[in-house]
């Protein structure tokens, strides 16, 4: 019997015509300003190489440039089913290979039916924000039945994710007020969405102070970052982009200021809160000499689960990206409103058996699969899918590093 989901319809056909070409959104999308610490960039941690639609992967590797679009739009695409099976009630896995004028591509899909009450979709991360682990370990720790990698991260430095991360069961891990807030999230009632999720924060005693980051890989210029025990040990000058002057570190325990200094103290145990300010943020923190310090933070809209990525691929069925140049391994998450399914897609790349996809191709694939909204997650060597097979978790794709990469977080599917 055929599954009701149209997400598997693509894999059921052995030979299909090429993908259509949905219209691009009007205007010229702009990618995020990125964190490398280089001149002209704002945040540290973003891969050095990023195009108009943002970075392709945390590793910053340049991908193979695809032939011009006309070279493949007129060429028929052949697709061959490699595998399809049910992982659990409400979760189906499909894998297929396709070849066009640009070369071969292998793709892997998890379709998660949110109408199945036994399933939960959640954010998974190491115990500490400034740490990494592989997707298999993250999935096992949560006793998941399937998982993919999540957000881009500050690779080779703090290891922390670039944006916002919140778990249904474990609460808020990290967040920022602006700059990297395109997210896949669940509302308070559990409805999936793709959109902006931002940090809100305040220090009651200093209402002019701007709380811009929470357990973040950097503190925005002029802003204040809040760090908790979940971050790890107290941060150093990596989070101020190497800035050592006009910065300030305040320690708060039990709602009281216990220290206020003009230099950071990296590597110390966090016993309450550590506040790190830059520029105007440092000037505001300097006034917290004694007495109480009431610090609050929350996410706008109060979502129950959040993972961020570089850019929305699709909004209301319309492709939002224009980058049809570089081919890379890819990971994406989408929402099919007709079936109430979340679609987790991993595309292999950087190999002779799979060239990867451009962002435009990835968006078109998600449209073909039925997604009405979709978000681009970390790609390159980070792209990983694991799922239960023969009673245990197995890697379902071919990670381009040849082994599982240590990543900042992932999206997991669990059974209640």
- Does residue 183 belong to any structural domain of this protein? no
pLDDT digits (tens, 9 = 90+) for 81-107: 999 999 999 999 999 999 999 999 999
Torsion of CA 366, 120, 393, 231, to 10 degrees: 90
Sign of the alpha-carbon torsion through 164, 153, 58, 304: negative
- Does residue 64 belong to any structural domain of this protein? no
Q: Are 313 and 382 found together in one domain?
A: yes
- Does residue 260 belong to any structural domain of this protein? yes
pLDDT at position 18 over 60 = no
pLDDT at 46: 62
Domain boundary among 299, 319, 353: 299
Q: In a 3-state reduction of DSSP, which class is residue 380?
A: helix
pLDDT at 80: 93
Q: How many CB atoms lie within 10 A of CB 88?
A: 18
- Does residue 310 belong to any structural domain of this protein? yes
Q: Residue 383: CA atoms inside 13 Å, Cβ hemisphere, count? A: 29
pLDDT digits (tens, 9 = 90+) for 20-64: 333 333 222 233 333 333 333 445 556 667 778 999 999 999 999
| Number of structural domains the chain divides into | 2
Q: How many CB atoms lie within 10 A of CB 1?
A: 3
pLDDT at 337: 97
Q: Are 121 and 14 found together in one domain?
A: yes
Domain boundary among 244, 276, 299: 299
pLDDT at position 72 over 70 = no
Distance CA 410, CA 144 (A): 11
Residue among 240, 258, 242 at smallest CA distance from 250:
258
pLDDT at 76: 67
- Does residue 231 belong to any structural domain of this protein? yes
pLDDT digits (tens, 9 = 90+) for 142-170: 999 999 999 999 999 999 999 999 999 99
Tokens of 210: 């701007």
Q: Are 108 and 131 found together in one domain?
A: yes
Per DSSP, which regions of 48-118 are E strands?
A: 50-51, 54-55, 64-65, 78-88, 91-100, 103-113
- Does residue 54 belong to any structural domain of this protein? no
Find the domain containing 375 and state its range: 6-35+72-170+305-337+362-415
- Does residue 180 belong to any structural domain of this protein? no
Helix, strand, coil content of the chain in percent (nearest 5): 10, 40, 50
Q: In a 3-state reduction of DSSP, which class is residue 221?
A: coil
Q: Are 244 and 106 found together in one domain?
A: no
Q: Which of 3-7, 43-47, 77-81, 401-405 has the lowest mean pLDDT?
A: 3-7
Q: What is the mean pLDDT of residues 170-193?
A: 97
Q: Are 117 and 153 found together in one domain?
A: yes
Q: Which helix (H) or strand (E) element contains residue 253?
A: strand 247-253
Q: Which helix (H) or strand (E) element contains residue 364?
A: helix 359-369
Tokens of 173: 């891990």
pLDDT bracket for residue 17 (50, 70, 90): very low
* 231 in Cβ contact with 215 (< 8 Å): yes
Q: Are 165 and 207 found together in one domain?
A: no
Sign of the alpha-carbon torsion through 374, 378, 379, 381: negative
Sign of the alpha-carbon torsion through 131, 398, 93, 308: positive
pLDDT at 34: 35
Q: Are 219 and 134 found together in one domain?
A: no
Sign of the alpha-carbon torsion through 4, 73, 364, 388: positive
**What are the residues facing 160 on neighbouring strands?**
none
Edge-to-edge strand list for the sheet holding 318-319: 78-88, 91-100, 103-113, 341-347, 330-336, 373-376, 311-315, 318-319
Residue among 266, 231, 199 at smallest CA distance from 125:
231
Distance CA 278, CA 282 (A): 5
Q: Are 81 and 122 found together in one domain?
A: yes
Mean of the per-residue pLDDT values of the chain: 89
Q: Are 222 and 164 found together in one domain?
A: no
Q: What is the mean pLDDT of residues 370-380?
A: 98
Q: Are 291 and 326 found together in one domain?
A: no
Domain boundary among 299, 319, 348: 299
Q: Are 315 and 397 found together in one domain?
A: yes
Distance CA 381, CA 400 (A): 5
Query: 149-169 as b/e, with b when 16 or more CB fall inside 10 Å?
Result: bbbbbbbebbbbbbbbbbbbe
pLDDT at position 269 over 80 = yes
Bigger pLDDT: 13 vs 200 = 200
Q: Are 381 and 259 found together in one domain?
A: no
């Amino acid at each position: 019997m055929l599954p009701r989901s149209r997400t598997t319809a693509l894999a059921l056909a052995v030979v299909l015509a090429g993908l259509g070409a949905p219209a691009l959104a009007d205007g010229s999308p702009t990618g995020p300003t990125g964190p490398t610490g280089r001149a002209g960039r704002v945040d540290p941690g973003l891969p050095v190489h990023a195009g108009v639609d943002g970075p392709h992967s945390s590793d910053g590797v340049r991908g193979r440039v695809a032939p011009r679009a006309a070279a493949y739009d007129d060429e028929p695409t052949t697709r061959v089913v490699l595998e399809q099976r049910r992982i659990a009630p409400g979760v189906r896995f499909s894998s297929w290979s396709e070849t066009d004028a640009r070369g071969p591509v292998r793709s892997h899909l998890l379709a998660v039916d949110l109408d199945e009450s036994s399933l939960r979709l959640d954010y998974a991360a190491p115990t500490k924000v400034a740490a990494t682990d592989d997707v298999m370990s993250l999935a096992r720790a949560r006793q998941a039945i399937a998982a993919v990698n999540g957000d881009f991260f500050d690779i080779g430095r703090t290891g922390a994710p670039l944006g916002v991360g919140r778990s249904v069961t474990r609460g808020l891990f990290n967040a920022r007020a602006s700059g990297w807030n395109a997210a896949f999230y669940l509302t308070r009632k559990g409805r999936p969405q793709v959109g902006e999720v931002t940090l809100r924060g305040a220090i009651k005693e200093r209402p002019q102070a701007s709380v811009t980051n929470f357990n973040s890989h950097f503190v925005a210029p002029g802003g204040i970052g809040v760090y908790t025990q979940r971050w790890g040990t107290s941060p150093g000058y990596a989070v101020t982009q190497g800035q050592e002057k006009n910065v300030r570190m305040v320690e708060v325990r039990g709602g009281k200021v216990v220290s206020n200094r003009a230099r950071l103290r990296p590597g110390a145990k966090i016993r309450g809160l550590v506040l790190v300010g830059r520029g105007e943020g440092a000037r505001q923190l300097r006034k917290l000499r004694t007495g109480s310090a009431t610090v609050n933070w929350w996410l706008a809209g109060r979502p129950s689960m959040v993972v961020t990525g570089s850019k929305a691929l699709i909004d209301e069925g319309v492709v939002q990206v224009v980058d049809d140049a570089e081919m890379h391994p890819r990971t994406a998450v989408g929402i099919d409103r007709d079936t109430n399914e979340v679609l987790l897609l991993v595309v292999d790349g950087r190999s002779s058996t799979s060239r990867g996809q451009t962002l435009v191709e990835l968006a078109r694939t998600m449209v073909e699969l039925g997604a009405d909204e979709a978000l681009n997650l970390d790609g390159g060597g980070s792209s990983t899918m694991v799922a239960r097979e023969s009673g245990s978790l197995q890697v379902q794709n071919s990670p381009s590093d040849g082994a599982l990469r240590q990543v900042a977080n992932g999206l997991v599917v669990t059974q209640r």
